[in-house]
Amino acid sequence: MHSKATHTSKRKKDHISICLKDDLNFITKTTGFENYEFEHFAATEVNINKIDLSSLFFRREIRYPFLISCMTGGTIEADSINAKLAEAAQNLNIPIGVGSQRQAIESNKNHNSYKIIRKIAKDVPVLSNIGAAQIAGMNSMDDIHLIIDLIEADALVIHLNPLQELLQPEGETYFKGLLKNIKKIKKRISVPVIVKEVGSGIGKKTAKILLNNGVDGIDVAGSGGTSWAGVELIRKGNREEKYFWDWGLPTSYCIKKLNKLKKKNNFLLIGSGGINDFDSAAKALVLGADIVASARILLIEAEKGVKPIVDLIENWFENIKKIMFLTGASNLTEFKKTRLIKKKDLY
């Protein structure tokens, strides 16, 4: 017997194993962060030992402006991965998302793979996750309440992934009703609503529509990190469709464009997609991200254990403090006011 839930679990399992063993980088496209240089400030008077990186995730204080992005759940393999990611989040006092909870709606067989995050990450913001196709086809609010209650979520994340659905053999590409339902959900739930992509980026046109429909946060999840087109093409055994493998808006471009919308709109801007080192994380913050987020690099660390995840994130922020010292910024507000120079203007 192959129920819908069994198919979803199988797909989640495939995603984990492909993300762990295949090269999913974009082929020619990059995040764009490498095109910028920090403006060195030789007259710095910053006390590096007093730099405070604590930030707000909506109203909650977190130690670093960093989020462990939504990844997995709904398959037995997810239990131990989520347990490790949750322990790291709890340890670091940073927020963490769960993977798509579609499987939890279809069956209660793997509810533990999601609940384990809340159980371990007791004191930090935990984020629910569901896809655009499920939102578009939603008949009642029951499923939304179910996934939020399951993990006592502090926010709901909706992922928009038209490219992934387009290339997925079993993909659902009809999203009629999506915006209307996002607006409805926003009105009916008490936690903030964040909308994200999964690697193709959110540009100005999309962001404006989302903000008009009431969303509280946007995670750009831009191009240059993990290619989800790549994941689905590998699942199909068709690595040749290179054009779509590389489709999307680079992460740095999305952050820069969406930062401009902050003048008129109050929303949390999350910078993600290929945040795989401290340099990208720091540049994302200066370009306008309120917090940054990573996914696949943390899944890879989770294979090694909890400490490697914690060490990686702490190491990034120790290096970001050094960058802040060298650019004359004693806190994140000052850091955001520092300048990035386009590399083409350096020579």
The site for ligand FMN (CB under 6 A) is made up of: 15-16, 19, 69-72, 99-100, 129, 159, 196, 198-199, 221, 225-226, 272-275, 294-296, 299
Name the strand (E) or helix (H) holding 96.
strand 96-97
Tell me whether residue 218 or residue 275 sits nearer to ligand FMN (CB atom).
275
CB of 102 to ligand FMN, least distance (A): 8
Tell me whether residue 294 or residue 327 sits nearer to ligand FMN (CB atom).
294
Tell me whether residue 99 or residue 217 sits nearer to ligand FMN (CB atom).
99
How far does Cα 93 stand from its chain's mean position? Answer: 17
C-alpha triplet 42, 44, 49: angle, nearest 5°: 135
- Cα–Cα distance measured from residue 126 to residue 256, given in angstroms and rounded to the nearest whole number: 27
Cα dihedral 10→13→15→18 (10° resolution):
-120
Query: DSSP string spanning 226-268?
Result: B-HHHHHHHHHT-TT-HHHHT-S-BHHHHHHHHHHHTTT---E
Tell me whether residue 51 or residue 289 sits nearer to ligand FMN (CB atom).
289
Amino acid at 7: H
Of 182, 249, 248, nearest to 217 by C-alpha is: 182
Using the CB atoms, write b or e for 109-126: b if 16+ within 10 Å. Answer: bbbbbbbbbbebbeebbb
Tell me whether residue 293 or residue 332 sits nearer to ligand FMN (CB atom).
293
Of 247, 296, 256, 259, nearest to 275 by C-alpha is: 296
Using the CB atoms, write b or e for 230-243: b if 16+ within 10 Å. Answer: bbbbbbeeeeeeee
Of 66, 84, 67, nearest to 16 by C-alpha is: 84
Of 230, 185, 222, 184, nearest to 204 by C-alpha is: 222
CB 151 within 8 A of CB 180: no
CB of 198 to ligand FMN, least distance (A): 4
CB of 331 to ligand FMN, least distance (A): 26
CB of 341 to ligand FMN, least distance (A): 25
Amino acid at 82: N
Residues in the chain: 347
Determine the residue with CB nearest ligand FMN. 225
